[in-house]
């Protein structure tokens, strides 16, 4: 069931919102496309083409808007995927970079639509309660592309 929220991310696409929603729904468990809304006559988009796609990713609601080429994604906004273990990090990393996605640094990837994601371990921020441990872990992360949990733990522990 979707999380009830007054805030729903709306992702602006040129004309690939439905394709993107289906891509994301196939990556995240407990996800689905809820509704597709088409442009009516006398509207900014071609009549009958997809205007909005309402979808859920692991119970969180999103909207994809096919609004034209005026706006594109950049790294100023990203979605964080907190992973329970290395297998989950590997899964999301591989899926989000497939078919033209791009690896970046510190666990960041850009998917084939240009949307940025942070694929990180669940426990990373808990290390912040120990500043020295967190500093060592952060330094290790800064040298990575895909996160390696074992390496972060070794660095955090000073080994």
For residues 131 and 89, state if they share a domain: yes
In this structure, the answer to whether residues 107 and 144 fall within a common structural domain is yes
> In this structure, what CATH number is given to the domain that contains residue 43?
3.30.720.100
Q: Exposed, middle or buried by CB within 10 Å (0-12, 13-18, 19+), for 70?
A: exposed
Q: Is the pLDDT of residue 1 over 80?
A: no
Is residue 144 within 8 Å of 124, Cβ to Cβ? Answer: no
Whether the Cβ atoms of residue 45 and residue 51 lie closer than 8 Å to each other: yes
Confidence at residue 103, expressed as pLDDT on a 0 to 100 scale: 97
> How far apart are alpha carbons 156 and 159 in whole angstroms?
8
Q: Are residues 51 and 85 in the same domain?
A: no
Q: Which domain holds residue 17?
A: 10-66
Question: Where do we find the tokens 């033209």?
Answer: 100
Whether 62 and 96 share a structural domain? no
Residue 72 lies inside a defined structural domain of this protein: no
Q: Does 95 share its domain with 55?
A: no
What tokens appear for 12 in the block?
Answer: 């602006």
Picking from 118, 119, 154, the residue whose alpha carbon sits closest to that of residue 139 is 154
End residue of a domain, out of 66, 89, 104: 66
- In angstroms, the CA 155 to CA 126 distance is 15
Task: Note the pLDDT tens digit of each residue in 92-151.
Answer: 999 999 999 999 999 999 999 999 999 999 988 887 789 999 999 999 999 999 999 999
| pLDDT tens by residue, 38-49 | 999 999 999 999
Joined together, the tokens standing for residue 113 give 């639509």
pLDDT in tens, 3-52: 457 899 999 999 999 999 999 999 999 999 999 999 999 999 999 999 99
Q: Locate 116 and state its tokens.
A: 């940025």
Please say which residue of 38, 66, 94 terminates a domain: 66
Using DSSP, state whether 2 is helix, strand or coil: coil
Domains: count for the chain: 2
Q: What is the pLDDT of residue 4?
A: 58
């Amino acid at each position: 069931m979707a999380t009830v929220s007054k805030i729903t991310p709306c992702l602006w696409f040129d004309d690939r919102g439905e394709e993107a929603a289906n891509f994301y729904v196939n990556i995240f468990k407990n996800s689905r496309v809820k509704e597709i809304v088409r442009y009516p006559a006398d509207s900014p988009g071609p009549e009958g083409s997809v205007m909005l796609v309402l979808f859920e990713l692991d119970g969180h609601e999103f909207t994809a808007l096919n609004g034209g080429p005026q706006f594109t994604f950049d790294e100023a906004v990203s979605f964080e995927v907190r992973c329970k273990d290395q297998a989950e990090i590997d899964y999301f990393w591989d899926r989000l970079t497939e078919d033209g996605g791009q690896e970046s640094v510190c666990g960041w990837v850009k998917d084939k639509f240009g949307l940025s994601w942070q694929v990180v371990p669940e426990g990373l921020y808990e290390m912040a309660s120990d500043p020295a441990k967190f500093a060592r872990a952060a330094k290790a992360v800064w040298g990575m592309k895909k996160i390696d949990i074992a390496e972060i733990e070794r660095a955090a522990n000073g080994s």
